[in-house]
Amino acid sequence: MIHIWSRIPRYIRYIFMQTLFLFGYLVVFRAVFYFFFFSSTIKDAGIVARAWHLGLRFDMRLALILMIPVGLLAVIAKDRLFGTGLLRRINFGYLFLIYLLLSIFYVLDLGHYSYLGLRLDPSVTRFLAYGEKATNARMLWESYPVVWGLLGMVLVMVLLRYGYRRIFRRYAQKEGTPVRPWGYAAYVVTLVILFGAGIYGNLAYFPLRWSQAMFTRDNAVTSLALNPVLYFVSNFTVQNDTFDDRETHKYFPLVAQYLGVEKPVPNQLNFVRTVPGDSSKPRQNVIIVMMESGGAAMTSMFNNPMKATPNLQQLADNGVLFENFYVPAMSTARSVFAITTGLPDVVRSKTASRHPGIVDQRVVMDQFAGYEKYYLLGGNTNWANIRAVFTNNVEGIEIFEEGYFKSPKADVWGVSDFDLITESDEIFKKAHDKKQPFIAFLQTADNHEPYTTTAGAGDFKKLTAKDVDMKLFKTSGFVNLDQFNALRYLDYNIGHLMKLAKASGYLDNTIFVFFGDHSAKLDPFHFMPIPEYEMSTYVDHVPCIIYNPRLLQPQRVSHAGSLLDIYPTVAKLTGIPFKNYTLGMDLLDTTRSAERYAFIQYSKNLNWCMGMINGQYLYEIDTKTNATGLYDLKADALKDVKQQNPQLTGDLDKLTRGFYESTRYLMFNNKK
């Protein structure tokens, strides 16, 4: 075998060795992902081995594709490759470039996966939006060991450079082997066949495809089976965000009936519902608190064994807790857009708030006549173009952001949540003292990397591994203690807000709404009534509490609710007259509770899905393949039962598609 190998022309052997070296480098990153980032409920060794097998085939495909230029250079130049300075520089320059780009991409991919639990895709360009690059760069700086990472990359590049140059020198020192024309042709044909077969990747009629990696419902297994570079490239298509007038008309009667539109006229596509005022209700203030990265499964109210949120638990026990409450998608910007506009963000690339043609909307918050309107954020409201969502749609809104607060910045996200709440209380108290009703959107941020916490009023203390039952901790879903402590700190600050509200006198005449904007990435957990982790819906399931003992008796509400419903609900509670141009409804309306669903979007097997969910059923549509499924959440929640329920399947399919098409239409046709 050694004798046969030595008779092959050195430039052919050189191609194989450089390809093998590149393939080995890709495998190293796959091993890093598996040993340090892979977390799955699937423990079957056969399934994991299958994912590895597919992943290695994808890695080989990428290595072969990237080595095509080197192969062409080698077979054209032959032995001259090792003797010409220009060809040598071209060869080395290309290899350095691909290793540098691969290293940067893989590091970004691992960071993205650590942050969101998803492989890198083209939507990551949203973090490069104008005016946001500096903020996102600071978040990276404060959350990750950037300096050590750069030093590590420099070291890796030095080693790689030494490796591929050593391979070159090894074959440059060998004697060239004369080859007859027919022999040269045979080697080239064989090389092309081997490269083609490796890139094709399958012993089948069709080539290796990314869909083969999605043989389970588990994102982690799918991520292990894919090559992140090839996955990124395969998704590098940006569809123009628009609407389909014909499809909107098709589903309008169904959606209008679902929303309760008065006397709908199909040709007009009018979604408006008029809600009369109720002067008998006391004119309450409204404080809506967005709890950053606060998923339902993380909280005490939903039986998380770590009981990290006692203050929220107390509010839930004495207020209204919505057990089946969802955000339309996992993203802070998408959630802020959804709650403010009453429309789910269904934009595929970036987010709706970053789309100039979408930020102009008729919103319920704008109709709080006689109210002062506040948006309070510890950082800067230029992130994700959120400033325009408020200032463009809510007349007279006052924005309190960095630069206003006296407290120093805690991290990239601005002042700490404790300081934000402390200084916000001064604003609320001032309005209360002059008997001026107000509606405020208070956005927290510290339950987010880099997970900055302070001592608060001097009595908040971070817990260490010595302070907690680590065996119990491993069943809770928390990724690490920093994430756990950040949620404890968020809960601590919720308690701080309520203490200040009582001391400042506005507690009893204020409607408080607390909601999570999405769940943080979690490790597998199994304490919820349904397998949310395996279903991938845990990212959208969040707590929502409305607290006002003066108006509402303590209760748990089981019918489905959504961020879209919050402003219509609090508007009705305050008794103001308003017109609802959105897709939201009153959360406390029990007349059609059994028919209520929440529209959600989530990633399953790295494919984007949309669907309708309530306490009984989940209906989902894979937006890439158009595959559908109906799941009975009170039976086997992972078993597709659409064949056994054809009528319900048909109804929910129309409702899901109708909600989606209506959203796309209203995004561009709900202007003031």
Span 73-116, pLDDT tens digits = 999 999 899 987 899 999 999 999 999 999 999 999 998 898 88
- Mean pLDDT value across the chain: 93
Angle at 513 between CA 412 and CA 369, to 5 degrees: 100
Compute CA distances 361 → 358, 367, 389, 414, whole Å.
Answer: 7, 12, 8, 28
Return d(Cα 519, Cα 542) in angstroms, integer. 7
Categorize the per-residue pLDDT at 237 as very low, low, confident or very high, splitting at 50, 70 and 90. low
**pLDDT above 60 (res 613):** yes
List, for residues 85-94, the tens digit of each pLDDT value: 899 999 999 9
Residues listed for the chain = 672
Is 569 catalytic? The answer is: no
> What's the average model confidence in pLDDT over 357-363?
91
* pLDDT confidence tier of residue 368, bands split at 50, 70 and 90: very high
pLDDT tens, residue by residue, 443-468? 999 999 999 999 999 999 999 999 99
Highest averaged pLDDT of the listed ranges 234-248, 376-390, 618-632? 618-632
Q: Tell me how far apart the 2 most distant CA atoms of the chain are, in Å.
A: 100
What mean pLDDT is predicted for residues 174-203?
Answer: 88
User: What domains appear along the chain, each with residue ranges and CATH number?
Assistant: 1-229 (no CATH), 245-670 (3.40.720.10)
Is residue 541 a known part of a binding site?
no
Helix axes 85-116, 45-77, angle to 10 degrees: 160
Q: What is the pTM of this model?
A: 0.90
Q: State the catalytic residue, choosing from 19, 248, 332, 351.
A: 332
What is the spatial distance between Cα 439 and Cα 268, in angstroms, rounded to a whole number? 33
Check if the beta carbon of residue 223 is closer than 8 Å to that of residue 113: yes
CA distance 358 to 492: 36
In contact, 313 and 301? CB cutoff 8 Å: yes
* Tens digit of each residue's pLDDT (9 = 90 or more) over 556-578: 999 999 999 999 999 999 999 99
Would you state the torsion angle of the CA atoms of residues 389, 393, 394, 400, taken in this order, to the nearest 10 degrees? 20
pLDDT level of residue 2 (50, 70, 90 thresholds): low
What is the phi/psi pair of residue 437, to 5°?
-65, 150
The answer to which of 50-54, 130-134, 234-238, 370-374 has the lowest mean pLDDT is 234-238
Confidence of residue 238 (pLDDT cuts 50, 70, 90): very low
Give yes or no for residue 290 having a pLDDT over 80: yes
Q: Is 391 annotated as a binding residue?
A: no
Q: Provide, rounded to the nearest whole percent, the portion of the chain with pLDDT above 90.
A: 77
pLDDT one-digit tens code per residue, 634-660: 999 999 999 999 999 999 999 999 999
Whether 559 has a binding-site annotation, put simply, is no
Lowest mean pLDDT among 233-242, 261-270, 510-519: 233-242
* Mean pLDDT within 616-624: 96
Rounded to whole angstroms, the Cα distance separating 488 from 444 reads 13
Q: Say if residue 518 carries a ligand binding annotation.
A: yes
Q: Is residue 152 predicted with pLDDT exceeding 60?
A: yes
User: Could you tell me if 120 and 109 are in contact, meaning their C-beta atoms sit under 8 angstroms apart?
Assistant: yes
- State whether residue 291 is helix, strand or coil: strand
At 580, which helix (H) or strand (E)? strand 578-580
For 305-343, what is each residue's pLDDT tens digit?
A: 999 999 999 999 999 999 999 999 999 999 999 999 999
Least confident of 39-53, 226-240, 504-518, 644-658: 226-240
